[in-house]
Amino acid sequence: MRFPLRSLMARFMTPFMARLAVAAILPFAAISFSALSALPAHAQQMPSGAKQPGEFPRAKLTAGMFVIDAAVAANDADREQGLMYRTSLAPNEGMLFVFNENAVHCFWMKNTLIPLSIAFIRADGTVTDIDEMQAETTNNHCPKNNGVYALEMSKGWFTSKGIKPGMKIQGLPAAQ
């Protein structure tokens, strides 16, 4: 039986060439994939003019025996940014929102990349409500009671520490 040379190459060289191509490309694909997987999920660029995490004023708060390192958002721009674009929090790190009036202050999670728990707090430091918030959602999270503070921590933080409504947060800066 006679096969033209072209047919022989197509029949025998193609599987070899395909394996060679896969062997040559696979390491580069794996490197590219591992580099991409190291990036945070849904990472978004922090807009220009936004404060970096270290630029917020800080307050040391206590909840029972737990010390909290809280960034303080006490003006409209800081409260609007909040923890948006952050990809992580340290174990006892959070953000304290300080408001000018005793009212119901609602929150949402737009552009917030990590799930959070929020405690709503009266002027005397008493926790009134605690809620769990999923990342990147626009659901409203509103307390049932008026307050002047809200404290956001990593999701589940309050539950894991046994912090419940009725307990007090100490070290709060004066409401404005």
- Whether 8 is covered by a domain: the verdict is yes
Say yes or no: 7 and 59 in one domain: no
Given pLDDT bands bounded at 50, 70 and 90, which one contains residue 66? very high
- Whether 175 is covered by a domain: the verdict is no
User: Which residue segment(s) compose the domain that 11 sits in?
Assistant: 1-39
Domain count, the chain: 2
- What pairing do the DSSP bridges indicate for beta strands 116-121 and 147-154? antiparallel
User: What does the pLDDT look like over 5-45, one tens digit per residue?
Assistant: 444 444 545 555 545 444 444 444 444 444 444 444 444 67
> d(Cα 60, Cα 151) in Å, to the nearest integer?
12
Closest by CA to 166, choosing from 120, 111, 104, 115, is 120
Mean pLDDT confidence for 152-171: 98
pTM for this one?
Answer: 0.74
Mean pLDDT confidence for 48-54: 84
Distance of CA 124 to the CA centre of its chain: 28
The pLDDT of residue 55 is above 60: yes
Element (H, E) at 8: helix 5-8
